[in-house]
């Protein structure tokens, strides 16, 4: 390697290290909130059809679900839950039925509508097919409830909740 090529290599390497270090302070990685996605199973039949991983739900969760007549079932079970940070400028994915990727939720911040209300770009994917796309406003006090497909003699119900960020990276 000639002296000129070595000098160019050193400057190129130093420049790449500087670019990598500058990415650490990326404002797009600021955590705005936390998004929790819970998958419930609602049925008027035998809740054992949901399988062994299904668990009882709290009275508070049952109260929220039965408040909407379209989501009213006699029995509910929780199938899975995932909690992910909401980044300022990056898309995020929640996978509430780990390790399965049968239910996925893609979400991305759009705008802050009020102090505690944020508009999110949401996509619900079932069996690797996008079945819902919306730009829903979410607030910490009111989860977005989505009536999903029929499943094992009942219906899947997704609850998407927003919680304020506890800390910033």
Q: Residue 21: is its pLDDT beyond 50?
A: no
Average pLDDT, the chain: 82
Q: What is the pLDDT of residues 97-120, one digit of tens each?
A: 888 888 899 999 887 666 778 888
The residues, ordered by sequence, that sit 6+ positions from 120 with a Cβ below 8 Å of its Cβ are 35, 86, 107, 108, 109, 110, 135, 136, 137, 138, 162
Backbone angles phi, psi at 103, to 5 degrees: -125, 120
As a whole number, mean pLDDT of residues 1-5 equals: 52
As a whole number, mean pLDDT of residues 75-101 equals: 89
As a whole number, mean pLDDT of residues 59-87 equals: 92
List the domain boundaries for the chain: 26-164
pLDDT at 160: 93
pLDDT at 62: 92
């Amino acid at each position: 390697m000639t002296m000129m090529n070595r000098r160019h290599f050193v400057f190129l390497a130093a420049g790449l290290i500087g670019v990598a270090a500058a990415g650490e302070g990326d404002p797009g990685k600021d955590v705005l909130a936390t998004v929790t996605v819970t998958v419930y199973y609602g049925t008027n039949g035998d809740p054992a059809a949901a399988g062994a991983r299904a668990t009882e739900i709290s009275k508070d969760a049952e109260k929220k679900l039965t408040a909407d007549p379209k989501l009213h079932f006699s029995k509910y079970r929780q199938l899975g839950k995932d909690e992910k940070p909401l980044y300022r400028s990056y898309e995020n994915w929640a996978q509430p039925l780990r390790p399965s990727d049968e239910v996925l939720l893609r979400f991305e911040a759009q705008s802050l509508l009020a102090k505690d209300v944020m508009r999110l770009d949401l996509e619900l994917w079932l069996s690797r097919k996008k079945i819902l796309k919306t730009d829903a406003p979410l607030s910490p006090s009111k989860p977005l409830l989505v009536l999903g497909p029929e499943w094992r003699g009942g219906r899947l119900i997704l609850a998407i909740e927003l919680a304020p960020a506890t800390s910033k990276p």
